[in-house]
Structure 1
Amino acid sequence: MTALVECLSHTPLVGHVDPQQAVLDEVAAVISAARERVAQFQPDLVVLFSPDHYNGFFYDVMPSFCIGMAAHAIGDFGTLAGALSVPQTLAESCATAVLEQGVDAAVSYRMQLDHGAAQPLELLFGGLREVPVIPVFINSVATPLPSFQRARLLGAAIGRWAREQNLRVLFLGSGGLSHQPPVPELAQVEGLMADRLKGSGRYLPADEREARTQRVILAAQRFVHDQNSLHPLNPEWDQQFLDTLSRGELAAFDSLSNAELSAVAGKSTHEVKTWVAAFAALQAFGPYQCSGRYYREIPEWIAGFGALSAQPCAAGL
C-alpha cells in the first residue's frame, strides 16, 4: 500500500560513555522526530534490516543474509531482551518471494538478535513487541562479506514483495556510519576467542559478557582522547553516503568494494548496507523524498552517528 524508511545509527555505548548533554539532547530530538513520523505513519508491519556483532550469528554457519521467522533479543549492553512479535506466515511469504527473485537468503526460526536490532525498536516503539516485525540480518562484520550490490538486490526483492501486501510497511535500517569498534576477527585470534566466534559465543557466560562490555567501554574512553587508537571516523565519507542515498543513486555503491570501504571508513561501516537495503526496498514503491537528515561525529560512541528518513514522493503521511 505505502511505505516509510527510517534509518538510524545504533550504539551500545549509550549510558556507558556519553557525549556532552547538549549532544545527547540533540540526538534525543532527532529520535523524537523519527518516533513522531513513525507514529503518524502507523505501520502495519516493520521490516528491520540490522547487523549482528557475534551475538546471534557465528562461523558455525555465517549467512550473508537471514530472514527471521521468529526472533528474540538477548539484551546486551542493557538493551531490551525478549521475543519480538514476528508474523511467521508473512515472514515465510517474504523469504519465499526473495528466493524466487534470485536472492539467496537463509531463514531462521530461532533468530538471536543483539542491540543492533533491539535498540531501534525500543527507541521508536518503546518495546520489542509493540508492532509486527520481520527481522532481516545482513552480515556486516564476518568476512567474507556480501557486497553493496547484493544488499541492494535483497532490499529491492523485499520491497517488491512488500508492495503487494496491502500493508503500511516501515523499512527500518539500523547501523553505520563510519566506525570501527574493537570487534574480533577470526583470522587474528585463536584458542577460546576463535571458538567463541565459531559458535560457542552464542550463549556467552555472564562474566565473559561483562568483560566484553567493559572492553568496548574502555576502547571508547581511549578513543575520545586519542582518535588514532581506533580507525578514525570519516565525516566526509559519511556525508557523501547520505547525499547519495538522498539522490536515490543506490547503484552507485555497487562499484565500492568491501576492502575499499573498510579502508576509508572502518571495518564496521559495512553496517550501512542495512541502510542501502532499506532504501532499495522503498524504491520498489517509486521515487522517494528524504527528510529528517542528521549527522554528527560522536567519538564517545565510536560513531559517525546519523539518521535519514524517506517516503515515496506520491505518498503522504
Structure 2
Amino acid sequence: MSFYLHCLSHTPLMGHVDPAPEILAEVHAVIHAARQRIAEFAPELVILFTPDHYNGFFYDLMPSFCIGMAAHTIGDFGTLAGSLSVPQELAESCAAAVLAAGVDSAVSYRMQLDHGAAQPLEMLLGGLREVPVIPVFINSVATPLPSFQRARLLGEAIGSWASGLDKRVLLLGSGGLSHQPPVPELAKVDGLMADRLKGSGRHLPADEREARTQRVILAAQRFVEDPNSLHPLNPEWDQWFLDILSEARMAELDSLGNAELSALAGKSTHEVKTWVAAFAALSSYGAYRTSDRYYRPVREWIAGFGSLSAQPL
C-alpha cells in the first residue's frame, strides 16, 4: 500500500471567464505537471473529497458527509457528465470503517455530483472512469456546516481504513481557497428559489441551468471590473492555510469557527475542508512532505487558485 495526495482548486469559470493568457498557461502547466506525477504513481484507487454547489445535495436531506457507493456527474459548466467507476464493496467497507471510528457519514447509492468532482478527475486523470474512485462529499455551502475538526476526523478515519488496503491510493481534495461566488442561501430566498434549494433543483430545466451559469459568469465579469462587487479574495489567509497543511498542523484549525472563516475568506471557502480531510487521511499513515505548491489569486475565477501535492516520508 502507498499513498499520494494532490489537492487542486476547481473553478466552473475556466473556459468561460479566463485570466490573461500567460496566467492561464501557467495554471495549465501546473495541472499538466500534477497529472504527470499522478500517472507515474499509477493509482489503483482514488478517494475524492469533494463539495457540491446545490446540484446533487439539497435541504430535503443535507448530510455533513456522504460516501458514494455509486455516483455520476451532471456536466454543469461544460464539465464531463457520466458515471464514476465506484468499487461498491470497497466503498461500503470504507463507510462501515468511518462509522466504527465514531464519525457519522451518510451513504448514497445514487450520488449526484457536479463540476467540483468532475474537474479534478478530468484534469488529473483524464476522465471520470480512468481509475476506480470513492467519492466523499463534504457539505461546504449549506448551513449548518461541519467544523474543521469533524472534517479532519473524517479524513483520519478514511486514511486509517485505506492504510489497510494493498493498493496504491490517490487522495484528491477539490475546492477553492478564499472565494464567495453568488451562491443562494436558504435564509435569504423564498418562492421558487427556496424550493430549488429544498430539492427540486436536483433536475433543473435546461433554461434554468443556463440562466444559473450565466449569472455566475456575469458575477465574475463584474468582479474583475469591481473587486468590491463580491467578498474579496484573501491571499494572505490562503497562503497561511497552505502553510498549515504543509506543516501538518491541521488540528490548529479546530478552533477556527465557521462564521469566522466566512468573514475572513468568504462563505465558499469552507470547501478547503476537502483539503483538510485529504491531508488528515494522509497523516494517518505517518509523516509526509509536500511539494509543487502553487498559488495565485484569480478574480476571473472568483477564487484563490491553489495546487499542492504530498506523499509519505
Tell whether the 8 Å contact from 1:35 to 1:125 is kept in structure 2 after alignment.
Answer: yes
Amino acid at match of 1:62: M
**Superposition deviation, residue 92 in structure 1:** 0.2
Cα displacement (A) at 1:17? 0.3
TM-score w.r.t. structure 2 length?
1.00
Match of 1:301 in 2: 301
What's 2:123 paired with?
123
Q: Note if contact 1:47-1:172 (Cα within 8 Å) is conserved in structure 2.
A: yes
Tell me the equivalent position of 1:149. Answer: 149
Structure 1 residue 37: deviation in Å?
1.0
Name the structure 1 match of 2:171: 171
Alignment of 1:1-317 (within 5 A): 1-313=1-313
For residues 211 and 234 of structure 1, the distance between their equivalents in structure 2, rounded to whole angstroms, comes to: 28
* Unaligned residue ranges in structure 1 (runs of 5+): none
| Matched residue count | 313
CA–CA distance in structure 2, aligned partners of residues 158 and 22 of structure 1: 39
> Could you tell me how far apart the structure 1 residues matched to 2:187 and 2:141 are?
13
State the TM-score, normalizing by the size of structure 1.
0.98
Q: CA deviation at 1:33?
A: 1.0
CA contact (8 A) 1:50 1:136 kept: yes
Tell me, in whole angstroms, the C-alpha distance in 2 between the residues paired with 1:228 and 1:193: 25
Give the distance between the partners of 2:166 and 2:98, measured in 1 at CA. Answer: 18
How far off its partner does 1:244 sit?
A: 0.7
The amino acid that maps onto 1:97 is A
Q: SS at the partner of 2:13? A: coil
Q: Deviations over 1:262-287 (max 9, x none)?
A: 00000000000000000000001100
In structure 2, distance between residues paired with 1:245 and 1:33:
20
Over residues 75-101 of structure 1, what are the superposed CA-to-partner deviations in whole Å (9 max), with x where a residue is unaligned?
000000000000000000000000000
Contact map agreement 1:2 1:285 (CA 8 A) in 2: no
3-state SS, counterpart of residue 58 of structure 1? coil
Q: Is the 8 A contact 2:234 2:264 kept in 1?
A: yes
CA root-mean-square deviation:
0.4
For 1:231, the aligned partner's letter is: H
Q: Name the SS for the 2:141 alignment partner.
A: coil
| SS in structure 2 of the partner of residue 212 of structure 1 | helix
* Residue identity opposite 1:126 in structure 2: G
User: Is the CA contact 2:11–2:176 (under 8 Å) kept in the aligned structure 1?
Assistant: no
Distance 1:243 1:176 in 2: 16
Q: What is the SS of the residue equivalent to 1:209?
A: helix
SS of the aligned residue for 1:151 comes to helix
Structure-1 separation of matches of 2:125 and 2:279: 21
CA deviations 1:31-85 (Å, max 9, x no partner) are 0111011001111100000000000000000000000000000000000000000
Contact map agreement 1:43 1:169 (CA 8 A) in 2: yes
Q: 3-state SS of the aligned residue for 2:137? A: strand
Q: In 1, distance between residues paired with 2:141 and 2:221?
A: 22
- CA-to-partner distance for each residue in 1:209-259, whole Å, 9 max, x for gaps? 000000000000000011110000000000000011000001010000000
Are the equivalent residues in 1 in contact too, given 2:60–2:198 (CA < 8 A)? yes
Q: Determine the C-alpha separation between the residues in 1 that align with 2:299 and 2:28.
A: 17
Letter paired with 1:38:
I
Superposed CA deviations along residues 125-160 of structure 1, whole A, max 9, x for unmatched, are 111000000000000000000000000000000000
How many Å separate the matches in 2 of 1:242 and 1:194?
35
Q: What SS class does the counterpart of residue 154 from structure 1 fall into?
A: helix
Q: Equivalents in 1 of 2:71, 2:116: separation in Å?
A: 13
Aligned-residue identity in percent = 79
- The alpha carbon displacement at 1:28 in A equals 0.6
**Counterpart-to-counterpart distance in 2, 1:267 and 1:228:** 15
3-state SS in 2 of match to 1:82? strand
Unmatched tracts of structure 2, length 5 or more: none
Is the contact made by 1:178 and 1:304 (CA closer than 8 Å) also made in structure 2? yes
Q: Does structure 1 retain, via aligned residues, the 8 Å contact 2:3–2:282?
A: yes
- Indicate the SS of the match to 1:210: helix
Match for 2:220: what amino acid? A
**Partners in 2 of 1:256 and 1:33 — Cα distance?**
33
Q: Structure 2 CA distance, aligned partners of 1:191 and 1:292?
A: 47
